[in-house]
A and B are shown apart, each in its own frame.
Chain A
């Protein structure tokens, strides 16, 4: 099993709809979880981080964490064309190693 898994997409979502991005991880001792956005040719930029089970909201973004299921997700409400990018899930493993999934390509349809 890969350490951090994401569906590669592309995920196509109409403008104004909710985009749902998912990620699973293998190390049950993982302690912190991050979502990064990466535009083509650019470096990853941090969008959200979450450490505790439940939901965390920041503007149009909501991160959800379920440690029992080893599952973390990102919801983007009122999707905009500028949200079209690759979204990377990152997990801080118990030994401080930060591992990334391969990313999900999101395409917002105008």
Chain B
């Protein structure tokens, strides 16, 4: 099993630019989560999908952030326009839609906005 695959691993961009983070969940998993991790705030849930449908996006910080899951094997998190305070590590994780199913994390994308 290839695990959760995220790209890019590192992204450096200038303030105001659009940033797109990508995630391929584990095959067969039907739940996908996007988290953001910083030293100050820890691991924050941004949005999660069940069977490609967004269930809760209350963690998305503002309208500059959007996420899509067009099919079971791909999701994107977009920031437009990006700001320096968006600098963080963004993790994608997948699981089965069952209460007892743990999350499996990708390697994360380290985003730096200058």
Contact = CB atoms under 8 A, between A and B. Distances in A.
A99 B26 CA distance: 20
Interface on chain B toward A: helix, strand, loop, or mixed SS? Answer: strand
Interface string B72-106: 00000000000000000001000101011011111
Nearest to A100: B43
Contacts, number: 56
Contact of B103 (A31, A42, A51, A98): A98
Interface string A63-107: 000000000000000000000000010101001111111110000
B48 A101 contact: no
Interface of B: 31, 33, 35, 41-43, 45, 48, 50, 55-56, 91, 95, 97, 99-100, 102-108
Interface of A: 31-32, 34, 42-46, 49, 51, 88, 90, 92, 95-103
Given A88-B43, A98-B48, A98-B95, 8 more contacts: A44-B105, A45-B105, A49-B100, A51-B100, A92-B99, A96-B55, A97-B56, A100-B45
